[in-house]
Chain A
């Protein structure tokens, strides 16, 4: 497969931006803020994974965080030291309480387990379209949550799973996010990505030119699950303690908001959305706690962050349904402004070649 230079250019621009955020945090920020930037990188990887499926298939996906949860718990169960498991996970099935894998095996193992689940769920998923497909993804999220909550022997249920080795660093997360941008772009602009986007615009016309939509959807589904499993592993190996509610509606809606606000049809949109929403979220968190600003003490406003996400989605949809960025990638911005590729060129007279 050849990679177009425009794709490399666009990925490089976005990658540079992400690297800049990551490395300035590494160099200048205190641990507390580094932590925030790490979580941002994880969220960015989630949003990229979401873009791979949603942006190319035009199906709203509510189940992505389910994959993240599976991967996080899988790496937790595989990599947590036996010493901790003796007390925390004494009754684990399959003799797992006596197993402690080095990360070199635990990480690929966790990703593989997630992908196997994604494979079987995907076989069912790709047959659905539109609202039924979206509902199926939502059902998947709920099922994963219920299993994590109730398979107490394996997951400790609603209680926190602690003692996961803390091995992930901000530089790793940044590097993965940068690579993630490149992979998401390469998929979107590959022959198959273009065919997939065509089929989500007009399934019948695509079928008439030989596009096999279900296979392509399946590919996007699996690639998306790969992103989410990496995000889950990173998250678990950074925070060290996880619980089922870490992987439920809150994170689902936060990352969905990021993608939709930025513009789900482009990877540029995913990156921009993640940055904008994360910044806004930090500001609202700050205000929520009732800080002193220039001598005035603001009241505490609980729930402001939730309100913020809702408001951002509603206003975003109302005023820019294609998101901040729209369907175009960063490198397409220049050209389109000059040549008038936008829809307003529709009525204009065409240059005669």
Chain B
């Protein structure tokens, strides 16, 4: 695979502090319909970054483009100096991307442990050293899944299925974990447990996290930094505090009927 020229990334910079996920000026359209327009963002080692935006903004499409599940029309995605956009999902995984899907995509006929082993097998092939250091039992335990290890994945309760998808992604020993609405359908207790588990794994694996969710409290609590995507464009970014107070975000986001909390402004 081609090594990206360091000169073209504004933020690639001199090897300052290791792993980087850089999305620069990505455009993506589906048969003429432009879904992503000049999207640029970055995530550094160990950083937890949120991505919010109304339905149809293009958030999932962005994750699909980053993980090379779909090609981009222009722009590129670079991880640790390697271009991964327009390669293959396998190359993305090898380069350090682990992801979950908005509409849970587990291997339903396989057991919980086998679901995790599928990913771990790839990791053992692609980065044997890091992969060998992962203890699958610990990982399952951390996400409250030990008791289900021998269950068929398809028969798990909903919340556990979401957590299993994260464990499966972590078994790749990823540098960056991309989570598409991990808290969807979870109750408050499960959500706060999820926040702890994601933080812990981010520390343990030293991996950056890019997380999408509609639950603003979840995102604001979990993330160091947040991007707001609207109609395919990044309209704001910053700390949770900055984003919360950005007038454009308030207009687009709070103006969105689904998230309108009160009528007091």
Decide: B151 and A212 in contact? CB cutoff 8 A. no
Complex Cα distance, B121 from A197, in Å, reads 13
Decide: B93 and A208 in contact? CB cutoff 8 A. yes
Residues on A with C-beta less than 8 A from B109 are 197, 201, 265, 327
Does any Cβ of A come within 8 Å of B265's Cβ?
Answer: no
Decide: A210 and B147 in contact? CB cutoff 8 A. no
Decide: A202 and B107 in contact? CB cutoff 8 A. yes
Decide: B152 and A341 in contact? CB cutoff 8 A. yes
Shortest CB distance B212–A (Å): 15
Residues on A with C-beta less than 8 A from B101 are 205, 208
Decide: A201 and B110 in contact? CB cutoff 8 A. yes
Shortest CB distance A38–B (Å): 35
Decide: B93 and A191 in contact? CB cutoff 8 A. no
Shortest CB distance B210–A (Å): 14
Residues on A with C-beta less than 8 A from B93 are 207-210
Decide: A208 and B69 in contact? CB cutoff 8 A. yes
Decide: B155 and A211 in contact? CB cutoff 8 A. no
Does any Cβ of B come within 8 Å of A187's Cβ?
Answer: no
Residue among B69, B146, B155, B171 making CB contact with A346, cutoff 8 Å: B155
Does any Cβ of A come within 8 Å of B118's Cβ?
Answer: yes
Does any Cβ of A come within 8 Å of B117's Cβ?
Answer: yes
Decide: A207 and B90 in contact? CB cutoff 8 A. yes
Q: Which of A203-220 contact B (CB under 8 A)?
A: 204-212
Decide: B88 and A353 in contact? CB cutoff 8 A. no
Complex Cα distance, B114 from A205, in Å, reads 14
B35-78 contact mask (Cβ, 8 Å, vs A): 1 or 0: 00000000000000000000000000000000101000000000
- Number of residue pairs across A and B with beta carbons under 8 Å? 107
If the complex has contacts A349-B157, A353-B145, are A198 and B69 also in contact, measured as CB distance less than 8 A? no
Does any Cβ of A come within 8 Å of B168's Cβ?
Answer: yes
Shortest CB distance A215–B (Å): 10
Residues on A with C-beta less than 8 A from B117 are 191, 194
Does any Cβ of A come within 8 Å of B192's Cβ?
Answer: no
Does any Cβ of A come within 8 Å of B119's Cβ?
Answer: yes
Residues on B with C-beta less than 8 A from A349 are 157
Does any Cβ of A come within 8 Å of B177's Cβ?
Answer: no
**Nearest residue, chain B, Cβ from A194:** B114
Residues on B with C-beta less than 8 A from A350 are 147-148, 156-157, 160
Does any Cβ of A come within 8 Å of B222's Cβ?
Answer: no
Does any Cβ of B come within 8 Å of A195's Cβ?
Answer: yes
Decide: A351 and B147 in contact? CB cutoff 8 A. yes
Decide: A192 and B147 in contact? CB cutoff 8 A. no
Complex Cα distance, B171 from A198, in Å, reads 15
Q: Which of B72-121 contact A (CB under 8 A)?
A: 88-90, 92-94, 98-99, 101, 105-110, 114-115, 117-119, 121
User: 5 A–B contact pairs at CB < 8 A?
Assistant: A195-B122, A197-B107, A205-B107, A211-B90, A327-B109
Q: A208-B89, A210-B172, A346-B155 are in contact. List 9 more A-B contacts (CB 8 A).
A: A192-B121, A195-B122, A198-B118, A205-B101, A209-B119, A209-B171, A212-B90, A343-B154, A345-B151
Point out residues on A near B: beta carbons under 8 Å: 191-192, 194-195, 197-198, 201-202, 204-212, 265, 327, 335, 339-343, 345-346, 349-353
Point out residues on B near A: beta carbons under 8 Å: 67, 69, 88-90, 92-94, 98-99, 101, 105-110, 114-115, 117-119, 121-126, 141, 144-148, 150-152, 154-157, 160, 168-169, 171-172
**Nearest 8 A/B pairs, CB to CB:** A210-B122, A210-B93, A353-B147, A207-B89, A209-B119, A205-B105, A198-B107, A191-B121
